[in-house]
Amino acid sequence: MTAAKTPNPPYYAVIFSAQRTDGDDEGYGQTAARMEALAKTMPGYLGFESARNEDGFGIAVSYWASEEAIKNWKQKAEHLEAQRRGVENWYSDYNTRVAKVERAYSMKQKKTD
């Protein structure tokens, strides 16, 4: 995982934070990888970042060009099925927040000569 390269604001972020339950790491991992690949094919997709602590608490942020793009992705059939499995099997607690990115700053260290 590396930082997402996003355009200048404004654009949208979907912030998903969740506590993984124990078990079914294989099923979860396969579906997470498939959803990341599928999201990249959606109109308005701008980028994705994720991180997870050893205790299973994780944050995933996807970036989108518009609210319509987020709605299309939320309603995509294969994604709906993954969401259903997430609620039933993989997460004990989750939060989804849709936010409009208004300002952004970034820095990448340059190597000194």
Point out which residues bind a copy of itself (CB under 8 A).
1-4, 6, 9, 13, 15, 17-19, 49-53, 55, 57-59, 61, 87, 91-109
Length of the chain: 113
DSSP summary character for residue 65: S
Measured from the CB atom, the residue of 1 and 30 that comes closer to a copy of itself is: 1
Measured from the CB atom, the residue of 15 and 34 that comes closer to a copy of itself is: 15
What minimum distance in Å lies between the beta carbon of 41 and a copy of itself?
Answer: 23
Question: In whole angstroms, how far apart are CA 61 and each of 3, 24, 71?
Answer: 10, 22, 15
